[in-house]
């Protein structure tokens, strides 16, 4: 018999790529914003110092600038496995891009058309759709099951009608950490004749995104929560971008995608910074490639391999904290209680019986460990759970550069304050 072993993440290499980790702080607030890779900063600096001119001119530096911006668009498309870079709209934030999408897409709708949102999303993927009610668009809410805190297909089916135009949902809740089965949902929604818009912000740092495999119509995430610059990308199927009106100047042709959805164009240096993220993921995967086949492995394949390594490591550190919290009778884990790779990411939230969540992180701060409390802009979920008066949840959001030793340091601190 032969056994296969899962290659382990090279944590020494990983942590060397994040200069902030050399300090004396432990970062467990990564769902709010991860630390930035040095390769990303290097690409941004390279652009600003050697090609910081306007695009589209005939002279050499402008041509180099345009090429670098195009490389950034290709990097974003590769990260999401989009069929073509023109399917990816870049912009300042997920909130901004979803607002642009709602303004443009809804021009194709009429009063009485319906949109379904969830009660567990970040507000970025709720408000842009709810705000369409003033135009007569009917908004319905797909609520998480009160016991499992999961989105159930049976509940969605009861909301879908022939007038449903879009279902907006999260890929991984930024509070629950729960992974939503997007492909299964997309199949149901498409069968009903509607579109799917997925907020992948809470998912993208933990798993490889594959918009083609999921068959989503729109998918958005923020790079600054995936080790990159404060920037975001919104994928859309080419047919949708071509058919809907844009938001750019009147003389921008309807066929000019993604430019017609990028007023003022993209941020050049931040777009090029995304190349640094792909640089890193490509290097991270190298230890698990046979030496003789390295040249035949595509960047996309290396990204998928890198996220396999990331997933296994995050399972380990997530399991460590979840198992500890389960030993505390006064602690309630908000979300799936076990570290199962197909069900959750290591964004772990909890409450303590009779304790205001706002009082816990300040007791951890002196130990130079960053955690957080609150609603994290998922206000509707916190309200549905009845946790507003308790100031929401305490959240420990981990990523692959965190270590078992860091988790154990946090557990030592919790042991002093999470007394039964």
Complete domains list, the chain, with CATH? 11-36+299-417 (3.90.1150.10), 41-277 (3.40.640.10)
Beta carbons of 321 and 407 less than 8 angstroms apart: yes
- The structure's pTM equals 0.96
pLDDT tens for the 420 residues of the chain, in order: 444 456 789 999 999 999 999 999 999 999 999 999 999 999 999 999 999 999 999 999 999 999 999 999 999 999 999 999 999 999 999 999 999 999 999 999 999 999 999 999 999 999 999 999 999 999 999 999 999 999 999 999 999 999 999 999 999 999 999 999 999 999 999 999 999 999 999 999 999 999 999 999 999 999 999 999 999 999 999 999 999 999 999 999 999 999 999 999 999 999 999 999 999 999 998 755 555 455 678 999 999 999 999 999 999 999 999 999 999 999 999 999 999 999 999 999 999 999 999 999 999 999 999 999 999 999 999 999 999 999 999 999 999 999 999 999 999 999 999 986
Residue 256 has a pLDDT of 96
29, 208, 214, 365 from 24: Cα distances, Å: 15, 30, 40, 12
Phi/psi of residue 85, each to 5°?
A: -60, -25
Q: What angle do CA 144, 221, 120 make, to 5 degrees?
A: 15
């Amino acid at each position: 018999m032969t056994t296969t072993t899962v290659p382990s993440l090279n944590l020494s290499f990983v942590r060397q790529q994040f200069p902030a980790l050399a300090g004396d702080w432990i970062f467990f607030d990564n769902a709010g914003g991860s630390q930035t890779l040095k390769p990303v900063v290097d690409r941004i600096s390279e652009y600003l110092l050697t090609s910081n001119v306007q695009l589209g001119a005939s002279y050499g530096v402008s041509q180099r600038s345009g090429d670098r911006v195009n490389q950034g668009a290709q990097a974003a498309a590769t990260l999401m496995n989009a069929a073509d870079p023109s399917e990816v709209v870049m912009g300042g934030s997920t909130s901004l891009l979803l607002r642009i999408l709602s303004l443009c897409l809804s021009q194709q709708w009429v009063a009485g058309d319906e949109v379904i949102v969830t009660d567990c999303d970040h507000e970025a993927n709720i408000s842009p759709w709810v705000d369409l009610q003033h135009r007569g668009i009917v908004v319905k809410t797909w609520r998480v099951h009160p016991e499992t805190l999961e989105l159930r297909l049976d509940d969605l089916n009861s909301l879908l009608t022939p007038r449903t135009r879009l279902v907006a949902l999260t890929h991984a809740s930024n509070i629950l950490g729960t992974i939503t089965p997007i492909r299964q949902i997309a199949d149901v929604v498409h069968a009903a004749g509607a579109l799917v818009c997925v907020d992948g912000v809470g998912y993208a740092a933990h798993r490889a995104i594959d918009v083609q495999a999921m068959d989503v119509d729109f998918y958005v995430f923020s790079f600054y929560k995936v080790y990159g610059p404060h920037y975001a990308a919104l994928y859309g199927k080419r047919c949708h971008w071509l058919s809907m009106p844009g938001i750019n100047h009147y003389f921008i042709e309807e066929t000019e995608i993604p430019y017609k959805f990028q007023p003022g164009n993209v941020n050049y240096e931040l777009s090029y910074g995304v190349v640094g993220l792909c640089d890193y993921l490509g290097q991270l995967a190298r230890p698990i490639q046979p030496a003789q086949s390295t040249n035949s492995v595509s960047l996309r394949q290396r990204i998928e391999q890198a996220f396999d390594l990331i997933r296994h490591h995050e399972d380990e550190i997530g399991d460590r904290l979840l198992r500890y919290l389960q030993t505390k009778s006064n602690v309630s884990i908000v979300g799936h209680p076990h570290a199962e790779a197909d069900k959750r990411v290591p964004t772990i939230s909890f409450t303590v019986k009779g304790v205001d969540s706002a009082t816990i992180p300040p007791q951890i701060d002196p130990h130079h460990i960053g955690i957080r409390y609150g609603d994290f802009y998922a206000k509707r979920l916190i309200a549905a759970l009845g946790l507003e008066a308790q100031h929401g949840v305490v959240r420990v959001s981990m990523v692959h550069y965190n270590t078992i030793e860091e988790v154990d340091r946090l557990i030592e601190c919790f042991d002093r304050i999470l007394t039964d």
